[in-house]
Amino acid sequence: MRDFNGKINFRIGIFRLAVNCFFSSLLMSVKLKIKKVGVGNNVKFYGLAIFSRTADSFISVDDNTCFRSSPHSNLIGIKASCIVATHGPGAAIIIGQNCGFSGTVIGALKKISIGNDVLCGANTLITDFDWHGIAPDKRLNSLGESKEVIIGNNVFIGYGSTILKGVTIGENSVIGANSVVTKSIPANVIAGGNPCRVVRPL
């Protein structure tokens, strides 16, 4: 016997996502123009993302990129909205074409460059600085050291992973779920763990 209810529920879910995407994308396009964030063509939003650009900093998002902030838009579970933020003058976040983010936080004090066709699984973090000083007397009044992060084309970053300052991830590489990437990863490998290490060639 065919699962008629299942088919109906599936189609209703798809319709709701399409409506969510339409209105979220429309509202976000207005908000990002006001915030002077560079956005390419056909950039889609499921739910409202948070973009924060400090004075004299730069954020750009290229064509066909998607931000999923609604919990219903990714069935693995999104814990919070996407956040894309610069944290100081001269900071830059550059996101390429055909990228996908689900509940991803991207925070730059210096520069984060993300190539084309990059996928970030749910609840990932990419940051180029410490957010707080390391020394006890600097934890409340310092953002800590900053080093540029570069993510190459066609990289896949798995669920819950964290990319820390000074890291370069080579093109085509895969970062396993819940990894903490503290050192650069070469191209064309599968890597994972805490700290993240190369597991095998791809």
- pLDDT higher than 60, residue 1: no
Across the chain, what does the average pLDDT equal?
A: 93
Encode pLDDT of 31-45 as tens digits.
Answer: 999 999 999 999 999
Encode pLDDT of 59-96 as tens digits.
Answer: 999 999 999 999 888 889 899 999 999 999 999 999 99
Instruction: Count structural domains, the chain.
Output: 1
Q: How many CB atoms lie within 10 A of CB 194?
A: 12
CA dist., res. 132 & res. 151, Å (int) = 23
Q: Output the DSSP codes for 26-56.
A: HHHHHHHHHTT-EE-TT-EEES--EEE--TT
Beta bridge partners of residue 107, listed in sequence order: 85, 127
Using the structure block, give the residue that is written with the tokens 């805490």. 194
Active site residues: 132
Range of the domain at 169: 4-201
CA dist., res. 165 & res. 106, Å (int) = 11
Read off the CATH number of the domain in which 38 is found.
Answer: 2.160.10.10
pLDDT for residue 69? 96
